[in-house]
Structure 1
Amino acid sequence: MAFSNYVCPVCHGKGSFTEQTGREEWKTTICDYCDGTGKVKAEVDIRWKPDYES
């Protein structure tokens, strides 16, 4: 099961970071957390086990 279409909490949906490296020079770095998409999803796995507490 997956829950998708959430805004990336690291880049806030921008997909990248831009920083000034010199006068009129800019460097853009892709967000590692969302791989530049600006969105993330949660994948949920459920594992069933015996319930010995009953």
Structure 2
Amino acid sequence: MDLSNAQWRKASRSGNTDCVEVAANMPGLVAVRDSKDLAGPVLTFDPQNWKSFVEHAARH
């Protein structure tokens, strides 16, 4: 999977701390990685599943 055009971002509230980064600029794909291991593994989700996860996490 080519993620060379991924535009990674992390939560503005994270400041300079390590956290997850999300790239949602690719059609049909949301990628998630650990900000302290940029060359490490990446999890990928389809946008609807990612949206469901985020909505669920926000409620709990």
Determine if the TM-score, normalized by the shorter chain, exceeds 0.5. no
Pick 1 or 2: higher relative contact order, CA cutoff 8 A, min separation 6. 1
Structure with higher Rg: it is 1
| TM-score, normalised by the number of residues in structure 1 | 0.29
**TM-score w.r.t. length of structure 2:** 0.27
Larger strand fraction of residues: 1
